[in-house]
Amino acid sequence: MKLKDFDFRIWDTENRKYVNENYAKNYHCVGIVKWFENFLGETQDFNKNEFFGFQFFNRHESGCGGFNATEFAEIELWTGMIDKNGKKIYEGDIVKNRDLDTLLCLFDKHNLRFVFKYINRKEYDICYTAMDILEVIGNIHENADF
């Protein structure tokens, strides 16, 4: 997947809903890692392997206004995969395969890849090469019964 294809969705944990796409399009999103140089040029290194959060800036206003989404938002990345109906598969989506197994799409932080975990089993499926057999049927936030 190329950077121009990078996509994500935002789950608002306070209001318990996905952030409206039109709302999100009005903001630039900037990822922040846990290190920075302070004004004296000294590097403050908290942990370069940890992600700090996202900062959003309004596209239509100048200045440094914006809001930090770290506390109220969960960012779910697009896997780069599309299901049999042409719908994007995101981290946190619940999918069914042709055998009617229900799987949860997760990001494996240790191996830096997306995997599918069977809902009622301990097994994982590393990846699917035939996306035309998967169908998105929900997500972990709006379909908690899975």
Domain termination residue (choose one: 45, 68, 91): 68
pLDDT reading at 76 higher than 70: yes
Give the CATH number for residue 92.
Answer: 2.30.30.290
Residues 92 and 57 in one domain: no
- 146 occurs within a structural domain: no
7: left (phi over 0), alpha (psi -120 to 50) or beta: beta
Residue 86 has pLDDT above 90, yes or no: yes
Q: Percent of the chain, pLDDT > 90?
A: 16
Residue 109 and residue 56 share a domain = no
User: Do residues 46 and 83 both lie within one domain?
Assistant: no
CA distances from 21 to 4, 9, 17, 18 (A): 17, 8, 12, 8
Element (H, E) at 11: strand 8-12
| Average pLDDT, rounded, for the chain | 70
Does one domain contain both 63 and 41?
yes
In angstroms, the CA 36 to CA 32 distance is 9
Q: How many domains, the chain?
A: 2
Does residue 64 lie within any of the structural domains?
Answer: yes
Domain boundary, last residue among 23, 46, 68:
68
Q: Beta-strand (E) ranges in 51-133? A: 51-58, 67-68, 73-82, 88-90, 93-96, 102-108, 113-118, 124-125
pLDDT digits (tens, 9 = 90+) for 93-133: 999 988 888 999 988 888 888 888 888 777 666 665 566 68
Query: Is the domain of 61 the same as that of 115?
Result: no
Domain interval for residue 116: 77-139
In a domain, 145, yes or no: no
Neighbouring CB atoms inside 10 A of 75's CB total 17
Q: What is the pLDDT of residues 17-70, one digit of tens each?
A: 887 665 555 555 544 443 344 444 444 444 444 444 555 555 555 444 444 555
- Is 62 a member of any domain? yes
Residue corresponding to tokens 């975990």: 117
How many CB atoms are located within 10 Å of the residue 44 CB? 9
* pLDDT over threshold 80, residue 145: no
DSSP state of 89: E
